[in-house]
Structures are given as C-alpha cells and as structure tokens.
Amino acid sequence: MAHALSRMLSRRMCQQWTPLQKTPGSTSRVLRQPAGRHAYATGPNPRPGQNPFKIWPFIAITLAGTGSYILMVRSRTDMAPPPPPPHEQIAAPKKDTPTFSPASVTVLFVLGGPGAGKGTQCANLVRDYHFTHLSAGDLLRAEQDREGSEFGSLIKEYIRDGKIVPMEVTVQLLENAMTATLEKTKGGRGKFLIDGFPRQMDQALKFEESVCPAKFVLFFDCPEQEMQRRLLDRGKTSGRSDDNAESIKKRFKTFVETSMPVVDYFDGQGRVVKVVATKSPEQVYKETREKLEARLGKNF
C-alpha cells in the first residue's frame, strides 16, 4: 500500500512536471515562456536553487499511510483466529483406529432415496435378525427437539431445506447411540442397521475412519415418481416438516447430487447390495432377506 501510494504520488508529480507540447495544427508553442519556465508556472520565477514544487505534503501523506498500514498489519496478526462453528468443535480429535472393531460390531449402511422404504425394511430386519436400528434422520430429529440442544435450530433449518446436516453432528450422534447400545450388551458385540446414512461422502469417510468400517450398503432402489407418491401419502399423518411437495423436491435433488455418489463409491468397492424397492413391502423384504443371507450367511 505504501509503495502503491508513493508510486501514485510520483506518477502525479511526473505529470505535473511535463512541459506543454505543441498543439496539432499550430505552428508555435501554446504559451511562449521565458527560457527555463513552464507554461503552468504562475508566480514569480523561483530563485536559483529553490524548488518551486512543495514536496513536504506528499512526504507527510506517504509516511502517515505507511504508518497506519503497519499498525493495521500488526493488529491483524495479534488477533486470534475466529473459533470454529459449534458443530466443528464437537468433532472428536482425529483417531488412528475406529472406536469399534468390525470383528465384534457389524454395521450395515441402509441407503435409498427418501420414501424408498428404508424404515419399513429395517423394522423387518430388526424383528428377524436382532439388529439395532439407528436412523440418522430420527437421531437428528430427536436432537433437534431436545431441550437445551445447541444444534436444534441448525438441524431444523437443514432438515426443512432437505440439506445434509454438517457431518460432525450426525457422526457424533451415531457414535453416542452405538456406545449406549454396546454398553448394555455382553462382550461389546452388536449388529447395527445405520439407516439413511451416509448421505454425503464426508459422512462415509469420517464414520468408517473414526467409528466403525461397515460391511456393505443395503441400497433400496426406487424411482422418484413412486417415492413422491409414498411421501405425499405419508405426509398426511407423519407430521414431518419435510414431507411436503416443496421439501420433497429439494430432498430428491440432494439425493441425486450428494447421496448417489456415496452409493457409487461403495459400489466401486464391491460393497453394495441392491434391492429393487418398487414392489409391495412384503416382496421387497423377501428379496432383501435373500440377498442379505447370500452375503452374510444365515447366522451372522
């Protein structure tokens, strides 16, 4: 800044000291001046050795500008960086190993668009295979409604707009729920269906790195038209803030743009079990059981 200012000032000074040139078409100089005198000079001729141009004001401005610039830079470097937003503050420190070992804890991610029937099929699997069902959406809604939650209003806003809640919140809620369940079981063994998760790549990477690697993704594949019909039907009684036409549209967009890449990522690793979810709940469950047992055996 100080350089720019002094450059600007010196440029201006040069301009002021440029003598007038011949005008086009004229044969003589605009103003005839005595030798050594410029056309713009008005006062009496300077005495020899006296500079007619007052340079002190410019030096003063340059010094003042440089001084305030230095003060500004110093005050900036003294300032502490702003604290991270609250949801980032809850993030656990980076761990080398996940909290739970896949040798004792079985995790299946359950994915599919909104209204694909994830919740319905999870309830069937809990009944027949004694999984613990953890729905990321349900955990977020419970946290949103918990009195004194510092994330309540943040979650509310994200859910209404069909956006993905910052992953630190969701991963921590899931880890807490898993810990609470495993504390009650003998030997810390458990089987979890993590429903509606991971919906974004950062959730997937964070969870597998810090909580527990999943066996695979159970993916319920359903066309949008059918999912929309189901959601509007459910909206009549669900009381959910996002089961309305406007939110449904946003949720579909988020699903296609943000969640499908997660399915593709696991698919690329051969870790997706896909079930066609257009038929009746019973037919969908039959296919689910067959594919699950083909992958894990009957006694997993």
> Distances in Å between the alpha carbon of 265 and those of 201, 217, 225, 296?
8, 10, 25, 21
Q: Of 240 and 286, which has the nearer Cβ to ligand C5P?
A: 240
* Joined tokens for residue 214: 């999943």
Residue 268 CB contacts under 8 Å (≥ 6 apart), including other chains:
none
Distance between CA atoms of 4 and 118, rounded to whole angstroms?
Answer: 63
Cβ contact 231:275 at 8 Å:
no
The verdict on 106 binding ligand C5P (CB under 6 A) reads: no
Do 36 and 103 form a contact (C-beta atoms < 8 A)?
Answer: no
Counting Cα atoms < 13 Å in the Cβ hemisphere of 263 gives 18
Where do the H-state alpha helices sit in 31-117? Answer: 56-78, 86-89
For residue 159, state whether it binds ligand C5P (rule: CB under 6 A).
Answer: yes
Per CB under 6 A, the list member of 112, 114, 117, 235 interacting with ligand C5P is 114
Shortest reach from residue 203's CB to ligand C5P, in Å = 6
Assess 214 for contact with ligand C5P (CB under 6 A).
Answer: no
**Of 121, 144, 170, 172, the one binding ligand C5P by CB under 6 A:** 170
Is 123 a residue that touches ligand C5P (CB under 6 A)? no
**Minimal distance, residue 255 CB to ligand C5P, in Å:** 9
Asked whether position 133 contacts Mg ion by CB under 5 A, the answer is no
* Residue 114 touches which of ligand C5P, Mg ion, none (Cβ within 5-8 Å per kind): ligand C5P
Catalog residues that contact ligand C5P under the rule CB under 6 A. 114, 136-137, 140, 158-159, 162-165, 170, 196-197, 199, 203, 242, 251
